[in-house]
Amino acid sequence: MRALIFVLLTVLALPLLICGLVIYTWRVRRIVIPQNISGTAHEPFGGRLAMHVAGTYKDEVAYKIAHHTPGYGGIVRFLFWDTLGFCAKLSGFKGSFFAYPGPRPSTLMTMMSHRAYFFNQSIQDVLTREDNPATQLVVLGAGFDTRCYNLPEGKDFKCFEVDMSPTLKEKKRALQLAEVPHNHVTFVETDFNQETWMESLLNSGFNPNLTTYVLWEGVTMYLVEEAVRDTLNLIASLPTGSVVGADFFSQDLIQGNPPLEKISKSMHTGMKYYSEDLQFGIPTGETLSEGLEEYLSESELKLARFEHVGSTEKDKKPPWYFFAHIEKH
């Protein structure tokens, strides 16, 4: 019944939702992409907004800065996200798109919320554990991520957000306009395919001798393999107990191998909308996790836990995407 009420409400609100989507699309094509601001950063950001407006996962910082971002700013937040949230709350509908963390196993509809939950728990565990907790948080490809502004209370953490210059400038602008405190965050400009981000970090006050959590979410698939290997090797140089939280597509998905042709085509088409290319995927062993373990075998990094998307009785497809908690030993 709740789902039916939600559908009826969204049908009534369709003119507002369509207007919001049209304006967002125009902004991405005419403002975001021409200014070299990360378009793909809007996808996970939109997922967090959906959960926030539906009341399943509170992220006040994301909601505040959304009003000042080039894609979701101003009237778009009202027309689309506020309207969608109103329909969800009024109907009481908490379906797959809004669920946090949502039902298992993870699917295409729930992967954003599952990914958010997986990394939220991973960061919380490492920053608050009694034995050798991380005291530095580095977010690679930070985009509009808000985890540096939702840290556990009672402890001091050094936070570094690393991304390309245009995206970080828009992020800082949105934080300032939304009056979100961000003096504890150091913004580090770099290009992962062209520069050594560790050197940029060191020049910005990063201490390589402290236990660190590196969040590398939604980035690896857009990089060339050499950049992925270099990044993992740099992370492996950090002290024992450091952790990287990262997500990976399978090589079969990137290449469109059977039976993933349709999903692959859809993903590649979606990325072209943002003028991005999917480039890197983990070779699959007997399982996707085995493929990553083999990929990490030459370093001191070990896969501690993971969660995958795909391989359900319903879709009959092999795992093609997974989230990983990788530890330095």
Is the predicted pLDDT of residue 109 greater than 80, yes or no?
A: no
300, 97 Cβ separation under 8 angstroms:
no
Lowest mean pLDDT segment, chosen from 32-41, 80-89, 135-144, 169-178: 32-41
Q: Does the pLDDT at position 282 exceed 70?
A: yes
Higher-confidence position of 6 and 315 = 6
Distances (CA, A) of 64 to 3, 35, 68, 136, 225: 28, 22, 8, 25, 36
The answer to whether residue 313 scores a pLDDT higher than 60 is no
Q: Which residue has the higher pLDDT, 96 or 228?
A: 228
Pairing of strands 185-189, 321-328: unpaired
pLDDT of the residue at 140: 96
Q: What is the pLDDT of residue 155?
A: 75
Alpha helices in the chain (DSSP H): 2-12, 14-27, 42-54, 60-66, 75-76, 83-91, 111-128, 165-177, 197-202, 225-236, 251-255, 261-273, 288-296
Calculate what percentage of the chain has a pLDDT beyond 70.
Answer: 96
Interatomic CA distance for residues 85 and 54, integer angstroms: 5
Q: Which amino acid is at 259?
A: P
- Which domains, ranges and CATH numbers included, belong to the chain? 2-91 (no CATH), 128-328 (3.40.50.150)
Compute the average pLDDT of residues 211-235: 93
Whose structure tokens read 């969040």?
215
Residue 71 pLDDT greater than 60, yes or no: yes
The pLDDT of residue 286: 66
Is a pLDDT exceeding 60 seen at residue 312?
A: no
pLDDT tier for residue 292 given thresholds of 50, 70 and 90 = confident
pLDDT at 270: 85
Residues 17-38 have a mean pLDDT of: 93
279 Cβ partners below 8 Å, 6+ apart?
Answer: 221, 222, 223, 224, 225, 254
What is the pLDDT at residue 97? 76
